Structures are given as structure tokens and as C-alpha cells.
Amino acid sequence: MSDDELDRQTRAQLQRGLRLAVLLLATLTVDVLGLINLVRHTGSYDFPAAQYGAYAALTAVLVTEAVLFVRRRQWGALRGPAIALVLAASALSYLTLPEGKTSTTVDWLFGAANWVGVVVLLDRPFRTLMAFLVTHELIALLNLLLFHDVTRSSLARFATGSMTVFGLPLCVAVVAAILGRIGTEAARATRELERVRTEEAVAVAAHRRRARRFSELTGTTVPLLEGLADGSLTPDDPAVRLECAIEAARMRRLFAETDTVANPLLHELRHCADVADRKGVEVELDARGHWPVPPVAVRRDLTDAALTALATAKSWARVTVVGSTDLVSVSVVADCGEFTVPPPATREVRVETFGSDGTVWMEAQWQPVAS
């Protein structure tokens, strides 16, 4: 999720309660108080149908907002047409008001359309909501100045009514803007918290991997190092040198297991071959076919024979990997003495060995279990 999307979601969560409150207030203003005044003064209008049409337009906008609220959706592309409908309903109602009834209970829409506009624009920037409120006031004022007799009492009623018609929605707009800023800061704090938690999780996972690696080496490498340290084993002993070479290859394989590569099996075999190459052994590694990625335990069983042969080879070694979706085979031929490989830890791996005249051939096969 992008930062902008997270900011929008956080602001929407904080503003959801305010959105519901404004919707209820607008519904009370239009469909309760506004309808009562409209019905009560129906006989006063020259064109009652125009007033009821304006009422139907505002109600339609509120019903749409209720549906969007329940579905947790925003206005989106419907916002522009909705505001245009609110302003058109305002103009229609003002133009068909009786003479001298501006800003009275007969002018039921003056204090209702403003809240409907706030409902539609609540999640927009403060300047957008302010522009709507100013436009709504100007429409009402121009209607008064152009189509009605302007008196001191009518101007006083308009100014007094504007204190609530303009002032209260403005307060709501300020609250919405503040919640928007709080939402942005909350989203930023959430991202920072997620970053810290991710770093902590990575550190814990790295420590766990290091601990697991150490535990995997304690059975073979640590006793060898302890023997060299206390003098019970000497580097002059050929058997000790062979064990050191084998453990070095195992450590290289162990470190390679955590690398992110497309073919982990070949990657680990190349690391094992690098140990032999450093000793001057000519190593040939050949791979044919495509195969699924074996689990770590299976890869260890497949590479154990090649690892030992490469570590103990005198001058040359050849490793061949052949695989398909049904069978993976790792075979090695090297000029080394006969050696014993521990039995495979996984049942799916089978190992065969053959030695003659200083040359050893060994093959490990893995047959994936059909899922």
C-alpha cells in the first residue's frame, strides 16, 4: 500500500464518526425541519412544485451519501454532479420564494442546502468546502438583491441567518481539516512504527539464523576446532586435514543456504566446489534439465556426497546434476579415497556408491513426492 493510500484510509477512519454526525444533522435539517416548514407554508409558494423539486434533489443527495457511508465509499466522480445539483436546487428554491420571505421559515432551504454541501465535501480540503459555503451565500444574497425589495429588516434577517447558515458549517469544516492533519500524522506514525517493527523482526530472524547455524556446526566443526585448540589433533595428520576440508565445505554450503537465488541446489554445489578449487583441484560442474527447488534438508542429502568428494579430491572432480519434475540426480566422480557418507535424513533421497582404483563414483537421487 502506498503512503498516499495509507494517509487517505487513516483520515477516512478518523472522519467516519464526523461524517455520520454531519449526515444525521443534514438529514434532520432537510427531511425533518425543512420538510415541516415546506409543508406548513405550501400555500405561500407561487410554484410549490419547484420547492418540492428542490427538496427531492437534496434528499436524493443525502440518500446517496447514506449508501456510500454504509459501503465505506467516497463520492469520487459523483462529487461534482452532487454539488451542482445542490446549487441548482438552491437557485430554484430562492427564485420561487414569495416576496419578503427571504431568510424566514418559508425560506426552508437557506439553512438546509449548506449542510448537504458539507456532507458531500467533508473529506475535501478546507478551501474547497469554504468555496462552496461562499457560493451558497452569494446565490442567496444575489437573489435577495436582484429579485426582492431590499429593506433594512430583510438585510438584518439575512445577516442574522448567515451567522448560523455559514458559521456552523464553517466550524465543521475546521474540525474536518484538523482531523485530516491528525490523520496524516497518525499515518506517518503508523509507517514509522511498522518500519521499526520490521527492523526488529529482521534482527530477530537474523539472530535466530545465526543461532541455528551455530547449533548445526556444533556436532562436527566445534569438536574439530576444540581438538586443534587443545592439541589432541594436529594439522600434520592427513585425516585431520581431510576433516578440515570437509567441514570447510559444509560451512560454505551452510552459509549459501540463506542466499536468495533462482537455483539453490546449483548455488550450494558451486560453493562446495570453490573449496576444492582453492586447493588446486580441477572441478567440472555440469547441469542439465529443470527441476523444482528441493527443501533445505533434501539439498543437504543431495550435496553431502559431492561435498565430501570435492573436499577430499586430489586433482580432479566432476559433478553432474540432472533433473526434471519427477527426478533430481546429483552424481560425482573424483580421484579420492573411499569415504562414508551419513545415510540420508530424508526418505525421498537414495544414495549409491562405487569405488575402484582410487576413483569414487557416488550418486544421490531425489524423487519429489506428488502433492
Query: Contact, 281 vs 227, CB < 8 A?
Result: no
Which pLDDT value is given to residue 12? Answer: 65
What is the per-residue pLDDT for 11? 62
Q: What pLDDT sits at residue 183?
A: 67
**What CA–CA distance (Å, rounded) separates 51 from 107?**
10
Answer whether 275's CB lies under 8 Å from 311's CB: yes
Q: Which residue has the higher pLDDT, 168 or 294?
A: 294
Residue with grid cell 559431492, as numbered in its chain: 306
| Whole-number Cα distances in Å, 344 to 21, 65, 159, 260, 299 | 68, 66, 91, 25, 10
Hey, what's the cell of 141? 444574497
Segment 90-95 mean pLDDT: 87
Query: What is the pLDDT at residue 371?
Result: 47
What value does the mean pLDDT of the chain take? Answer: 83
H or E segment to which residue 359 belongs: strand 359-366
Global model pTM greater than 0.85: no
pLDDT, mean of residues 234-244: 81
Could you tell me which residues are beta bridge partners of residue 323?
289, 328
Confidence of residue 13 (pLDDT cuts 50, 70, 90): low
User: What's the CA gap between 27 and 31, in Å, rounded?
Assistant: 5
Distances (CA, A) of 248 to 58, 291, 292: 80, 28, 27
Three cell numbers at 336?
579420492
Instruction: Give me the mean pLDDT over the 148-160 stretch.
Output: 72
Q: Which domains does the chain have, with CATH numbers?
A: 3-192 (no CATH), 221-366 (3.30.565.10)
pLDDT score recorded for residue 86: 93
Reported confidence tier of residue 366, pLDDT bands at 50, 70, 90: very high
Q: Which residue has the higher pLDDT, 187 or 81?
A: 81
Q: How far apart are CA 163 and CA 165, in angstroms?
A: 6
> What is the pLDDT averaged over residues 209-232?
77
- Look-up of cell digits 539464523: 209
Does the pLDDT value for residue 70 go beyond 50? yes
pLDDT, mean of residues 14-37 = 86
Residues 6+ apart with CB under 8 A from 31: 59, 62
Of residues 94 and 15, the one with the higher pLDDT is 94
Of 187, 106, 91, the closest CA to residue 139 belongs to 91
Give the residue with greater pLDDT, 52 vs 221: 52
Bigger pLDDT: 327 or 155? 327
Give the three cell numbers for residue 161.
441567518
The answer to whether residue 3 scores a pLDDT higher than 60 is no
Q: From the centroid of its chain, how far is CA 203?
A: 21
Phi, psi of 113 (to 5 degrees): -65, -30
Average pLDDT of the segment spanning 123-147? 84
**What does the buried/exposed string (b/e) look like for 89-120 if buried means 16 or more CB atoms within 10 Å of the residue's CB?**
bbbbbbebbeeebbbbbbbbbbbbbbbbbbbb
Please compute the mean of the pLDDT values over residues 154-168 and round it to a whole number.
75
- The 10 Å Cβ neighbour count of residue 353 is 14
> Would you place residue 195 in the very low, low, confident or very high pLDDT band (cuts 50, 70, 90)?
confident
The set of residues, in sequence order, having a beta carbon less than 8 Å from that of 103 and lying 6+ positions away, is 110, 140, 144, 154, 157, 158, 160, 161
Which is it for the CA torsion 29, 34, 35, 37, positive or negative? positive
pLDDT surpasses 70 at 5 = no
Sign of torsion, CA 49 50 56 60?
positive
List, in order, residues 6 or more apart from 68 with CB less than 8 Å away: 74, 75
For 43-52, 56-65, 168-177, 318-327, which range has the lowest pLDDT when averaged over its residues?
168-177
**Nearest to 90, CA basis, from 60, 135, 24:** 135
- Residue 55, pLDDT score: 93
Place of cell 573424483: 334
CB-based contacts of 18: which residues, under 8 Å, 6+ apart?
122, 172, 175, 176, 179
Nearest to 364 by CA among 316, 311, 323: 323
Task: Report, as an integer, the average pLDDT of 190-205.
Answer: 83
